[in-house]
Amino acid sequence: MTDPTTLEKQLSAAITTSLPDLPGRLDSEPQAHLDLIRQTAAAQRTVEALLQSSVLAARSAGHSWETIGSTLGMTRQAAQQRFGKSAPPSDTGAWPPGETHRLSPLTAFDEMEILNRAGRYGWHSVGFGTLYHLITRDTQQWEHRRVLAFDPGRGALEAQGWGRVGTLWFPWAYYTRPTGLAALPAPAAGLDFFHLPDPPASRRDDR
């Protein structure tokens, strides 16, 4: 666990340096102190949003409201009331044309396996929320990646053709890209990618 003093120093440095000229103005300009208030308030809103996302991520990892409340030093009821509101999907704002489905319930531990299984049949994520992804179908196979939102390697992924899905969802960022391989024929079992077995290796590369 991070030392609270260290975290406080890191946050203080991030806030004051987010306005490059702020540190030098604090000794002589009264306005600079109001700018610091605005920047600190913006940081507080950002931290609240990150806390909301981290709680929802914990829910997707299977933690109960009682456990989350205990971690935050509050009751189960208080935690659920504060953080249990339905979050809007993190989508692109405009879904691609074609059939779109809600793939649910997904957890932090099975979502990537299920998404990549669906991707072999041409389905890929275009948005997501707590315990679900919105998927749409294409004629080619797709692959999915999930990385930490603060991973410096995200830029390299985008340079390799990975497209980000929606907005960041702390602590995760989701990416997808087409493989260039023809999508496998629709399974007879329909869209039950939760229980559909993986296709044989010899069929995954069918063009």
Both tokens of 25, joined, read 């103005």
Q: How many residues does the chain have?
A: 207
Q: Looking at the structure, do residues 69 and 109 belong to the same domain, yes or no?
A: no
Q: Looking at the structure, do residues 57 and 116 belong to the same domain, yes or no?
A: no
Q: Looking at the structure, do residues 191 and 97 belong to the same domain, yes or no?
A: yes
Predicted local confidence at residue 53, as pLDDT: 81
Point out the domain boundary residue: 19, 51, 83: 83
Q: Looking at the structure, do residues 200 and 100 belong to the same domain, yes or no?
A: yes
Predicted local confidence at residue 16, as pLDDT: 80
Q: Looking at the structure, do residues 125 and 160 belong to the same domain, yes or no?
A: yes
Q: Looking at the structure, do residues 64 and 160 belong to the same domain, yes or no?
A: no
Point out the domain boundary residue: 36, 64, 83: 83
Per-residue pLDDT of the chain (207 residues), as tens digits, is 556 788 888 888 888 888 888 878 888 999 988 988 988 998 898 888 888 888 888 888 889 999 999 999 999 999 999 988 755 555 444 444 467 888 988 988 999 999 999 999 999 999 888 788 999 988 999 999 999 888 888 889 999 999 999 876 778 889 999 999 999 988 777 778 888 777 665 454 444
Could you give the CA distance from residue 12 to residue 45 in angstroms, rounded to a whole number? 15
Q: Looking at the structure, do residues 16 and 75 belong to the same domain, yes or no?
A: yes
Q: Looking at the structure, do residues 94 and 46 belong to the same domain, yes or no?
A: no
Point out the domain boundary residue: 83, 108, 132: 83
Predicted local confidence at residue 193, as pLDDT: 85
- Calculate ∠ Cα 54-59-61, nearest 5°: 95
Predicted local confidence at residue 199, as pLDDT: 66
| Exposed/middle/buried for residue 60 (C-beta within 10 Å: 0-12, 13-18, 19+) | buried
Look up the pTM and report it: 0.65
Give the DSSP letter of residue 193: T
Q: Looking at the structure, do residues 23 and 63 belong to the same domain, yes or no?
A: yes
Number of domains in the chain: 2
Q: Looking at the structure, do residues 73 and 153 belong to the same domain, yes or no?
A: no
Q: Looking at the structure, do residues 160 and 69 belong to the same domain, yes or no?
A: no
Host domain of residue 59: 4-83
User: Quick one: which of 7, 14, 5 has its CA closest to 42?
Assistant: 14
Predicted local confidence at residue 202, as pLDDT: 44
Predicted local confidence at residue 207, as pLDDT: 40
Contact indicator for 121, 184 with CB cutoff of 8 Å: yes
Q: Looking at the structure, do residues 49 and 101 belong to the same domain, yes or no?
A: no
